[in-house]
Structure 1
Amino acid sequence: MAGILHTSDLAKAGKGAARGLYVATILVGSFLLFLVQPMVARMALPRLGGAPNVWNSAMLVYQALLLAGYGYAHALGRLSLRRQVLVHLALLVLAGLTLPVGLVALPPLPGLPEALWVPLLLGLSIGPVFFVVSAQAPLMQRWFAADPQAGAPWALYAASNLGSFAGLLAYPLLAEPLLSLRWQSLVWTGGFALLVLLVALAGASRWSRPGAHRPVAAAAAAAGPAPGWRTVGLWLLLSAVPSGLMLSTTTHLTTDIFAMPLLWVIPLGLYLLSFVVAFADRRGPVRAVTRIAPVVVLFAGSYAMLSNGSGTLWVAGGTCLLLFCVAIALHGRLYDLRPGPAQLTRFYLAMSAGGALGGVFTALAAPLLFDWAWEHPLLVLAAALLMPLEPLLRWSEGDAIDRGPARIALVMLLAFAGFLGWQLDQYALRAEDGLVAMGLTIFLVGTGVMVMAWRAAFAAVLVLAMVAQGGIWTIRATLSGERTRSYFGIYTVHDRQDERMRTLAHGTTLHGEQSLDPAHARDALTYYGPGSGVWLALAATPAIAGPHARVGVVGLGTGSLACRARPGQRWTFFEIDPAILRFSTSGKFTYLRDCTPQAHVVIGDARLELGKLPPAAFDVLVIDAFSSDAIPVHLLTREALAVYTRALSPHGLLMLHISNRYIDLEPVVAANARDGGLAVLSRLDNPADRERYTPSRWIALSREASVLEALVRSSPGHPWTPLEDTGAKAWSDDHASILPFIRWESFAG
């Protein structure tokens, strides 16, 4: 009869409601987890500085806490369901006592190295809530699966990663632009309270089920033996390779292909979305992607060794597509190897351990082992060896022809691939031969598809394509010792013999150059030419500050500015990376040695080191600390500006270098100058000689307008212009976002 619900209908409705409750709980937990990571990192910037070892320490803390959370969820599964609910709710409440999120007041401990103190600080600050929230995904799935009629729990892991993806995007797009750190922390606390309520409701939904008061160890034993070590090892590999590839893709893109702001969000977002596809109940999409993944690996993976700065937006897109397809294929295979629900938390613990191993290899081991991002092609190759392959031709099995002719065909195809690779190497790096290179690449990919029945042959064609597609240049650069790698970046020192010029590049970004002609070895080039703002400022320094001026320079680079020093001046350089200093002390660049041999060089984060100096330590301070196109936000806040002006004498001059392809920093500097009561002028230099000099934007600031007037008088023929104040809000340590200042049109070209 219409309008009457049967008992079975009510049961189905109840199960649907319960599934929605668990999905909501997992979504909220994962959202909060990926929202708190960048939030705590932003909080730590002013206190710890922007040194990459700080980020590496933070990453290790997060991965260790995530692994601990998964381990806790696995151990908790030994208890009865009711005890699990009580224990987990109790830990959530205890962790909530540490909120709102913030850095604890832990001073540096005597005798404790910074490498240990920073993880301790971060662990104490975020550890309790991160640990207990990280257990959400596996624990909620286990509770969901406790009802045999609830259905398979694996799709809930897709919901977990969808929540993570949402949190990842929400921080740079919403939280950071709209909320101060204080309000971010308060909103996150509200989200945590919602999570505790959802967990309590989820626990209540299973509280009265039959057997909820009994330990589950017996049920797990009845479900079958634990997976063997081979299976667990394969789980680890299938988790580690996509995790490592996600990080290596970010390094490869930002270093050698297409440096741009917020680029790190794209690989991480694609990595998280791959779980959504791979762990979904509907298997059609993951099978389709897995089928085409080998072709994508052959084509886009052929650019994995590209390192000469010839990458384009299309290559960057192909690299991201490669990551997405590989992650879906490997995570899809991981899903196919999943155990029964009784082993659910063991499975996720192995996945977490594998992800941590991939991250440790890429973020910590690789910079120590390699001079370039060699981990990227290695991980692409590892993916080719692990991903499912469905050959179009199964002749290796003897379906079409005998084994003997099949082997002859294989040798002929590999020989043909070698010929194509040899030809591709001749055309790959010449822009005028792009169509020829593309045609050869397509034929090489087709050859790889033909030999997919032999995995070793498939991998061999992939390696051949990598080497031919610009990889030979990368290999030669390594063998010649041109590159240096540190936790701060990958640097290439290259001699252009035809121009008698030595260059220093950080990935695709030029950081300086020096003439190899002794007659011009002291000439300041690139951003520091005769028309640049910093050249004019240093030329005017004797008139502004007298003959014994004290000059500070943040960012050493090649040392180009050293030869702008005058007799009687005292110079100090601040450099965060010891590898950069070694370029000057080893003689690769001689500006420092030849022009300011008595200069003092301070190694460390500039803002922290300047804060340690006595007031009025400099008459002129030059800030030139950007790395590639990354913006060290903590060096451009009102608090940072206060550090700079404190380090300057009352009539001191501050010079900021803000040249950037993708970020318009003029409104930020204008707002900060207004906030700090500073006079400000701008100098845009468009040099006619583009072979020696680079367009640059320098900003001059001072407490006294008369200082800038003296600068203008000392720069005849080189106009300085007022900096337009658009009314933008000044950046602060509590609230800063680059999003409103991105030049979106720059991405099209």
Structure 2
Amino acid sequence: MSTTVETPLGAVQGRVSEVGQSPFALAIFVSAFLLFQVQLLLGKEVLPLFGGASAVWTVCVFVFQLLFLAGYGYSHGLATLLPLRKQVIVHGALLAVSAIFIAVLAYIRSAPIGSGANWQPRPGADPTWAITEFLIGAIGLPFFLLSATSPLMQHWFAQAGPKRLPYRLYALSNAGSLLGLLSYPSLVEPHVALGAQRWAWAAGYGLFLVCYYFSARSAVRSGAPGALRESFVPDLRSRGNLVRWSLRLQWIGLAACASVLLLATTNLICQDIAVSPFLWVLQLSLYLLSFIWCFENDRWYRREIFYPAFAVTVALVIVVSLPNAAYSFMTQLAAYSAVLFAGCMVCHGEAARTRPRSESLTTFYLSIAIGGTLGGVVVSLLAPRIFPNYWEYPLSVLGCIAVLFSVSARERSSWWYRGRASLALLILAGAVLLALPVLSPLGGELARLPRSIGLYAAAVLTGAALWRYAIERRASHTAPAPILVRSASRVMLALLTAGLLIPQKAALYHVIGSSRNFYGVLSVVSVDQENYLALRYGSTVHGFQYRDTQRTRLATGYYGPASGANIVIRNWPQHPMRVGLVGMGVGTLAALAQSGDVFRFYEINPDVYKLSTGQQPFFTYLRDSL
């Protein structure tokens, strides 16, 4: 007869293996779904209060990134400083407080989340801080705790067994976020009133609390007894130090590049194309999809696919955004969206390749959250104050290109060191194809060359690359050609940089005055051939006025003599009359005012008003009507 003696540690490991993944997965999925549903719900609520400005969503995302950072920092602190049972107790107590907070709000405001019925931004308040105040008051504490759920529960899940891999739960979290984003505009918003949406979200929060209870119970039951904890659970305070600061800074930089690219793309599309929640959802969905692909399985992110895809999509954006380019709305949207997805795949893919072991999981997530928040700071706070135009977009693209080059230069097995002559020829073919469209706006002899020359040269180089590749495949050993590859890459980099910056420079042609604030970029353009000044918002003209005395009081543009507003005001039977006008532009309709009339303009952007007032205004319709 044989006897088997089971050690205490073996008993613990046997019990750990019985703990399932389902409670953790369900709690993480529900929390992520709720997080992104409420972002759109509150974004829709606050948008009309600020005139539908494109920056509203950018600031909303920035505030939510701040709350994510706070949640990730809190989860990292719990995981680092407290044992498992105390982590569960502290987090559970705060969730109970948040439930009471929601119940009190429901009693006071008759709505569990959101603002009071009469909330309005203070007159003259900075819109960025007004939106921040609104969102934190509306959902701050529950959002903070929900954002901490994914990293905290992944940490508990990893502690439940030494062979457990928590990063697939991170992909599941992003899948829940994506479902929350896509379901809101397609299912929730069109069919459910705003008040009912708030109550439905509160019910979902109650469901999350139930899921938390079962996952926390599973975590506590799977935890090792106190006497064995040191021998079974890694000591995070010592092992976390194994993550080098250089690696942490790399994670922060990668996340920051992706965040700036997301927000800058959304800003640019909304100002130049349309301010639409659909565009918010599209861009953020692509951003989340890159997280899902990169963290669900290592096979999804392939450098040999996404490096060239990113370069090709950047070239496409350059072509559709060059001066005098006239591409359709869908073409522009597809180009900008493709660059966003490819760039985020590069940034998040490189972060996923270097992710640490599970004992440093919260350090990794905290670094990602810091990078995302820094991106929000750059686009929402710094860019409107230091850049005259949307310079953050080309700079974010160049930042992603810098990531690509720096990662390649650090690895001896990369194309930077092992690339062959066929690769150099292919890169040169792309550079030749891009050269004429990029450089022709600069004028000179290049502007007069036929575009077919670039096509023929690119075709020849592509053929040479294919021929050289066939030789390399047949040869038993082919020496790499790093000097050729690096030289060709630098030529391509120079062209991409020029192509990204030329439209920003072209936007300043004939501009004699400009301003940028929360509401966007305003430019006063002098059109010398026709002798008038035009007010341009992004790429859209919002009115113009002739400069010569004979035509300076002539109503123009949208409100010319044949327009409906002009006809009604001009033929109104009784004067004096009182007229209210929403949106001032250059004040064109003031040209129709007669003695005793009162024309009141309602304009949300203070910079628009400044262009038509003062000692020497650019537009004089208001002054001339007094």
TM-score, shorter chain, exceeding 0.5? yes
Matched, 1:194 2:210: no
The question of 1:148 aligning with 2:161 is answered: yes
Q: Which residue of 1 aligns with 2:477?
A: none
Match of 1:103 among 115, 119, 129: 115
| Gap change, CA 1:47 and 1:217, over 3 Å in 2 | farther
CA gap of 1:336–1:128, structure 2 versus 1, over 3 A, is same
2:381 maps to 1:339? no
Query: Which residue of 467, 470, 486 maps to 2:517?
Result: 486
Q: Structure 2: which 5+ runs fail to align?
A: 1-12, 103-111, 466-480
Cα offset for 1:426? Answer: 2.5
Deviation at 1:539, TM superposition (A): 1.9
Please report the RMSD computed on the Cα atoms of aligned residues, expressed in angstroms: 4.2
Say whether residues 1:528 and 2:553 are aligned partners.
no
Larger relative contact order, structure 1 or 2 (CA cutoff 8 Å, min sep 6): 2
User: Following the alignment from structure 2 to structure 1, what is the Cα–Cα distance between the partners of residues 264 and 460?
Assistant: 25
Matched, 1:567 2:581: no
Matched, 1:589 2:619: yes
Aligned to 1:711: none
- Structure 2 CA distance for aligned equivalents of residues 537 and 451 of structure 1: 72
User: Is this contact kept in 1: 2:408–2:416, CA < 8 A?
Assistant: no
Quick one: distance in 2 between partners of 1:495 and 1:340?
60
Q: Which residue among 300, 316, 328 is the counterpart of 2:316?
A: 300
- Quick one: which amino acid aligns to residue 472 of structure 1? I
Distance 1:494 1:258, change over 3 A: same
Name the aligned partner's letter for residue 591 of structure 1.
Y
TM-score by length of 2: 0.79
The alignment partner of 2:90 has SS state of helix
Choose from 327, 337, 348 the match for 1:320: 337
The structure where helix makes up a greater share of residues is 2
Letter in 2 for 1:242: A
State whether residues 80 and 212 of structure 1, in contact with CA within 8 Å, keep that contact through their aligned partners in structure 2: no
Structure 1 residue 169 corresponds to structure 2 residue 172: no
1:399-440: per-residue Cα shift (whole Å, max 9, x none)? Answer: 879xxxx9xx99xx9899589635643279999999759849
Q: Which residue of 2 aligns with 1:421?
A: 435
1:468, distance to aligned residue in structure 2 (A): 4.6
The yes-or-no answer on 1:252 pairing with 2:280 is no
Counterpart amino acid of residue 31 in structure 1: F
* Shift in Å, 1:319: 1.7
Q: CA deviation at 1:59?
A: 4.1
Q: What are the within-5 Å matches in structure 2 for residues 165-564 of structure 1?
A: 165-211=178-224, 214=229, 219-221=235-237, 223=239, 225-256=241-272, 262-287=278-303, 289-300=305-316, 302-303=318-319, 306=322, 310-312=326-328, 313-387=330-404, 388-389=407-408, 397=417, 421=435, 424-426=438-440, 436=452, 439=455, 458=489, 461-468=492-499, 471-478=501-508, 481-482=511-512, 483-541=514-572, 543=573, 546-564=574-592
CA distance in 2, matches of 1:419, 1:580: 42
In 1, Cα distance between the equivalents of 2:49 and 2:129?
16
Post-superposition CA distance 1:564-602 (Å, at most 9, x none): 1111112222211122122223432222222x23xxxxx
Return the offset for 1:373.
0.8
What is the Cα deviation at residue 172 of structure 1? 2.1
Whether contact under 8 Å (1:257, 1:307) holds in the other structure is: no
Query: Per the alignment, do residues 176 and 200 of structure 1 end up closer, same or farther by CA in structure 2, a change over 3 Å counting?
Result: same
Query: Aligned to 1:262, what secondary structure does the other structure show?
Result: helix
Give, in whole Å, the separation in 2 of the partners of 1:117 and 1:510. Answer: 29
Deviations 1:72-126 (A, max 9, x none): 1111113222222222222112111222213258989999966656534432321
Over the matched positions of the two proteins, sequence identity in percent amounts to 33
Structure 1 residue matching 2:279: 3-state secondary structure: coil
Distance 1:165 1:265 in 2: 9
Amino acid at match of 2:92: L
Cα distance change of structure 1 residues 247 and 420 upon mapping to structure 2, 3 Å threshold: closer
**SS of alignment partner, residue 165 of structure 2:** coil
Change (3 A) 1:480 1:248: same
Residues of 1 paired with 2:535 and 2:209: CA distance?
53
Aligned residues: 573
Query: How far 1:504 moved relative to its partner?
Result: 2.3
Q: Displacement, 1:15?
A: 6.6
Shift of 1:285: 4.4
The separation in 2 between residues aligned to 1:162 and 1:489, in whole angstroms, is 33
TM-score normalised by length of structure 1: 0.67
Secondary structure at the residue paired with 2:20? helix
Which residue number in structure 2 is paired with residue 88 of structure 1? 91
Partner SS for 2:559: coil
Q: Distance in 1 between matches of 2:275 and 2:325?
A: 10
Secondary structure (helix, strand or coil) at the match of 1:263 reads helix
In 2 relative to 1, CA 315–39 (structure 1 residues): closer, same or farther, beyond 3 Å? closer
CA gap 1:474/1:565 in 2 versus in 1, 3 angstroms? same
What letter corresponds to residue 576 of structure 1 in structure 2? I
The amino acid that maps onto 1:66 is: F
Q: 2:264–2:392: 8 Å Cα contact kept in structure 1? A: yes
For residues 33-85 of structure 1, the C-alpha deviation after alignment (integer angstroms, 9 at most, x for no partner) is 01112222334456677567866664443222111111111111132222222
Aligned-partner Cα distance in 1 for 2:249–2:323? 33
What residue in structure 1 maps to residue 10 of structure 2?
Answer: none
